[in-house]
A and B are shown apart, each in its own frame.
Chain A
């Protein structure tokens, strides 16, 4: 597999011969979502049936809680993916709410276990009711806002008017507005899920620290370059070029507006199976590429209109050369 193909795969954009199109990806996405929904449901039955047994299975409860939380996150991702391109998608809002509920339930279970292991008072009702109400409120807000991170106002196909023989390159960048607050929050919340940390064993902090450093260095800013060879995205202060899309694979480009809640997560990339990729660091202008195999690539970047216009000119120029 060529380097470019590897890079494209890393971005979730594979060649026509390498993976199914958007429809096939969506089907597989639903299978994943179904699995994500069934597994935590099965685990939650155990939690609800024997809530008092949590403190008696300390060896596995923490790990189970993390797994359940991860599966809840899978539901949220699926809902996010559905919400991105459609206004007010009730299905997406339902999935996101369910995912948040599962994650909140898992967090509550872990907190309860931690409290029980330290001989604290039960307070089961409060520990469980709080996250549940929080998740319900989040779902209500999402419904009122008409979806999560929807894009609007796609501009008509634009052009810079490049003359014959003229060459151009455009570079745009975007920074996450909430990087430090988000990852500091992660640093506070995640260790609390590991009882060892509360016992003074700081080894549990190591993976969290590594994760925060990687996220800060890698996913708090992007630099997008549009040139005759295609689109290149460099991530973070190290400008790791994880995404390269050849010009011949792009059908069209447009500048869109990433709506509110697009900044809810510092880095949002949908899974490979969903057939499209979003890199959302903030709300605001974004560049959306439609590939020839029907997939889409969206990235928030300043002055996306210029990048889209140049890309359309380059695509038109390449088509004329081929003809």
Chain B
């Protein structure tokens, strides 16, 4: 699992961590039962505050993707929807948007508005 932190990215640091862990769980790099690095260790490795990592882990726990156990740390509990499912959802969205007469540019704008 690779985690990159870009200080120039407008997204908050905890969100960058959260999204990359999510992606790793989604593509199977982190299977259920796998332990995440301890928050303190990960914070030291990427040079952020430990509370930043804990906040990311908290968001993942709230999403039901990991479990925070007192002595075992963060453990992956379930896999997030695989990317193939997201691609199928996107195809369905595009098809419905075309049926409603939206142009490709309008579809992109629609999605960008949600980001």
Residues of A within 8 A of B (CB): 160, 162-163, 165-172, 225, 227-229, 303, 306, 310
Contact = CB atoms under 8 A, between A and B. Distances in A.
Q: Which 8 A-B pairs have the closest CB atoms?
A: A227-B45, A169-B45, A168-B4, A167-B5, A170-B2, A167-B46, A166-B6, A171-B1
Nearest to B47: A167
Contacts of B64: none
Contacts of A306: 2
A310 B2 CA distance: 9
Contacts of B7: 165-166
B37 A168 contact: no
Contacts of A162: 4
Nearest to A310: B2
Contact of A228 (B6, B8, B37, B47): B47
Contacts of A310: 2
Interface string B1-32: 11111111000000000000000000001000
25 contacts: A160-B4, A163-B6, A163-B8, A165-B6, A166-B4, A166-B5, A166-B6, A167-B4, A167-B46, A167-B47, A168-B3, A168-B46, A169-B3, A169-B37, A169-B46, A170-B1, A170-B3, A171-B1, A171-B37, A225-B37, A225-B45, A227-B46, A229-B45, A303-B29, A310-B2
A171 B7 CA distance: 21
B37 to A, nearest CB: 6
Interface in B20-61: 29, 37, 41-42, 44-47
Which has the most chain A C-beta neighbours within 10 Å: B3, B8, B45, B46?
Answer: B45
Interface of B: 1-8, 29, 37, 41-42, 44-47
A285 to B, nearest CB: 14
- Determine chain A's interface SS by DSSP, over half rule: mixed
A310 B5 CA distance: 13
A171 B5 CA distance: 15
A168 B8 contact: no
A225 B3 CA distance: 11
Nearest to A166: B6
Contacts of B44: 227, 229
A160 B4 CA distance: 10
Contact of B45 (A160, A172, A228, A303): A228
Contacts of A160: 2, 4
Nearest to A229: B45
Nearest to B38: A239
B3 to A, nearest CB: 5
A228 B48 CA distance: 13
B5 to A, nearest CB: 5
A229 B7 CA distance: 19
Nearest to A164: B8
Which has the most chain A C-beta neighbours within 10 Å: B2, B4, B6, B46?
Answer: B2
B15 to A, nearest CB: 15
Which has the most chain B C-beta neighbours within 10 Å: A167, A169, A229?
Answer: A169
Given A167-B5, A169-B46, 8 more contacts: A162-B4, A163-B6, A168-B3, A168-B4, A168-B5, A169-B45, A170-B2, A227-B46
Contacts of B46: 167-169, 227
A162 B41 CA distance: 21
Nearest to B30: A171
Contacts of B41: 225
Contacts of A227: 44-46
Contacts of A303: 29
A263 B44 CA distance: 34
Nearest to A302: B29
